[in-house]
Amino acid sequence: MFIVDFFKTMSAVKKANNFVKEHENTINTVKGLIAKAQNAVTWLENHKAAIEIKIAKVKEDIAKLKGFINK
């Protein structure tokens, strides 16, 4: 009986360790995604003025193209 219980215990410990490892990878993946999202937000905030200028220029170009089409 002792040997069977020992192997059952070892199997349970192995499964528990695998479960923890799987979730550690998931947590690390989520942490990495959060860091990338924070970097992207920071970059966008730092370049907000330049982005807004480019958007305004594109809107002007669209308005000009619409003007050409309507003539």
Does the structure show a pLDDT above 80 at 69? yes
Q: Domain coordinates of the chain in residue numbers?
A: 2-70
In the prediction, which pLDDT does 39 show? 98
Give residue-wise pLDDT tens across range 7-48: 889 999 999 999 888 888 888 999 999 999 999 999 999 999
Q: Tokens 């979730």 sit at which residue?
A: 23
Q: Which residue has the tokens 């528990």?
A: 16
Neighbours of 38 (CB within 10 A): 10
For the cut 70, the answer to whether the pLDDT of residue 1 exceeds it is no
Give me 15's structure tokens.
């499964």
How many angstroms separate the CA atoms of 26 and 9, rounded? 26
Give, in order, the Cα–Cα distances in Å from 50 to each of 15, 37, 42, 45.
53, 20, 14, 10
